[in-house]
């Protein structure tokens, strides 16, 4: 299937944005009953991940943890000053494969799909591609 | 193909469980000669990874490293007290795509597939879906 | 499609090698117009990631960050002395799904695909498999 894109605007330097509803909407719009949806982040200072969405404190704690793990200054050489964000991108990963079954994305009870901004605020895009089962 | 699931019981707070034989068994049961198997972890305090399985000290060292990298207490706000496990889930990732060739999963010499428990002991599940080559 | 492999020689203990052109070449050689290419790292002390390729300082900063995040010595037990490299492999991940559209791999403006060596120098391999769209 032809790939598509999802547009986002982030509003903070570091932020996790729940895109589950948008992904679910894409799957339903494409009328795919069974297959996978590939999500791909084309940015180098952002990531995609799946984690708990029920309590917003979980995302806050995750961002706090990342900021602790990756020092913002470590004598980096990259002149843009956002090397910590590039490292967070490596740690988080930038692609997700989500299973589709019975026309819905298959997530665990507490799971939501998040776009992770590490160097915002910026206009961002997530690319997607659905691979439907052959029958 | 219809997705399936693998049931696990973890016995420690942090633990890596080798599920390679179970995944190999699924591929053989489904009689898939060539394609990929998508493994998906539906939990938010656990992950899936591939690493060395020959020396059990490697897994012990990995868990020791993760416990060092992600502080168990950092003034987190999530009331359940398992924010470190949620962060480890982000760092590890929760989905794996494993290639299938000649009816077997394609792994490197020292590689095994591990379910990573970060907030056990718990009953856990791994979802899987095989996408066979059209030929 | 039949999987293939890409051979690499790393020259340092820690190193990121841009393999984007090689991956692009594979996609063009296989004459795939639309689909995905699965890249798989069969090693347990190396990884695959996508990050900025324009300024080589970004890779240097990423490696510096990883060396800071993962202590080289932490009372590890694995006798080979490369436990830090195994942990970096978990953090980085070892498989990538890259979208193919109009006969080319779909990457963001600044993105390049990198093989990450964490315990070199060594002879290394990247496995790949293309899944073309059914039409």
pLDDT digits (tens, 9 = 90+) for C71-82: 999 999 988 999
pLDDT digits (tens, 9 = 90+) for A76-110: 998 899 999 999 999 999 999 999 999 999 999 99
Query: Would you state the pLDDT for residue A133?
Result: 87
The pLDDT confidence band at residue C133, using thresholds 50, 70 and 90, is confident
Give partners of B (≥3 CB pairs < 8 A).
Answer: A, C
| Interfacial A residues in 25-84 facing B (CB < 8 Å) | 34, 36, 49-52, 55, 57-58, 60-62, 64-66, 68-69
State how far residue A92 is from chain B, nearest Cα, in angstroms. 6
Helical pair A83-92 and C83-92, crossing angle rounded to 10 deg? 90
Helical pair A56-69 and B83-92, crossing angle rounded to 10 deg? 70
The pLDDT confidence band at residue A24, using thresholds 50, 70 and 90, is very high
Top-level class of domain B5-132? mainly beta
What residue spans of A19-112 are helical by DSSP H? 20-29, 56-69, 83-92
Q: Could you report the predicted ipTM of this complex, rounded to two decimals? A: 0.96
C61/A87 CB distance under 8 A:
yes
pLDDT digits (tens, 9 = 90+) for A32-86: 999 999 999 999 999 999 999 999 999 999 999 999 999 999 999 988 999 999 9
Query: Apex CA B17: angle with CA B1 and CA B132, to 5°?
Result: 20
> DSSP letter string over C50-105?
EEE-SSHHHHHHHHHHHHHHS-S-SS---TTS-HHHHHHHHHH-SEEEEEEETTEE
Q: Is the pLDDT reported for residue B110 higher than 70?
A: yes
Query: Would you state the pLDDT for residue C135?
Result: 54
d(CA C89, CA C82): 11
State how far residue B22 is from chain C, nearest Cα, in angstroms. 19
d(CA C42, CA C2): 17
The CA-to-CA distance between both ends of chain B, in Å, stands at 15
CA A35 to chain centre: 20
Query: Would you state the pLDDT for residue A98?
Result: 97
* pTM beyond 0.90, yes or no: yes
As a whole number, mean pLDDT of residues B38-62 equals: 97
- Sequence-ordered list of residues with C-beta below 8 angstroms from that of C19, at least 6 positions apart, any chain: C6, C8, C113, C114, C115, C126
Query: Would you state the pLDDT for residue C27?
Result: 96
Average pLDDT over all residues of chain A: 95
Question: What kind and span of H or E run contains B61?
Answer: helix B56-69
Which of the residues A58, A105, A113 would you substitute to probe the B interface, choosing the one with the greatest number of B C-beta atoms within 10 Å? A58
With H, G, I as helix, E, B as strand and everything else as coil, classify residue B28. helix
């Amino acid at each position: 299937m032809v790939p598509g894109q999802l547009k986002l605007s982030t509003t903070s330097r570091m932020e996790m944005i729940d895109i589950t509803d948008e992904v679910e909407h894409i799957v339903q719009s494409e009328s795919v009953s069974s297959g996978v949806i590939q999500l791909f982040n084309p940015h180098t200072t952002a990531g995609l991940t799946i984690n708990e969405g029920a309590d917003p404190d979980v995302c806050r704690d995750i961002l706090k943890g990342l900021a602790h793990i990756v020092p913002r200054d470590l004598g980096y050489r990259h002149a843009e000053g956002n090397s910590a964000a590039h490292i967070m991108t490596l740690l988080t990963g930038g692609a997700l494969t989500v299973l589709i079954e019975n026309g819905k994305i298959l997530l665990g009870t507490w799971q939501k799909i998040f776009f992770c901004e590490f160097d915002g605020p910026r206009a961002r895009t997530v690319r997607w591609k659905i691979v439907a089962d052959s029958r």
